[in-house]
Amino acid sequence: MSDPILTLPEVAVLLKVAEKTVYTMARNGQIPAFKVRGQWRFKLDDIDGWIDKTKATVRSFARSKQYLADGSGPQDRAARGQILGSHQRGERTG
pLDDT, tens digit (0-9, with 9 covering 90-100), for 25-74 = 999 999 999 999 999 999 999 999 999 998 888 777 767 755 555 555 55
Q: Which CATH fold topology does 5-88 show?
A: Multidrug-efflux Transporter Regulator; Chain: A; Domain 2 (1.10.1660)
Decide which of 90 and 52 is more confident.
52
- pLDDT for residue 80: 52
Question: Would you list the domain boundaries of the chain?
Answer: 5-88
Cα 23 → chain centroid? 15
- pLDDT for residue 60: 78
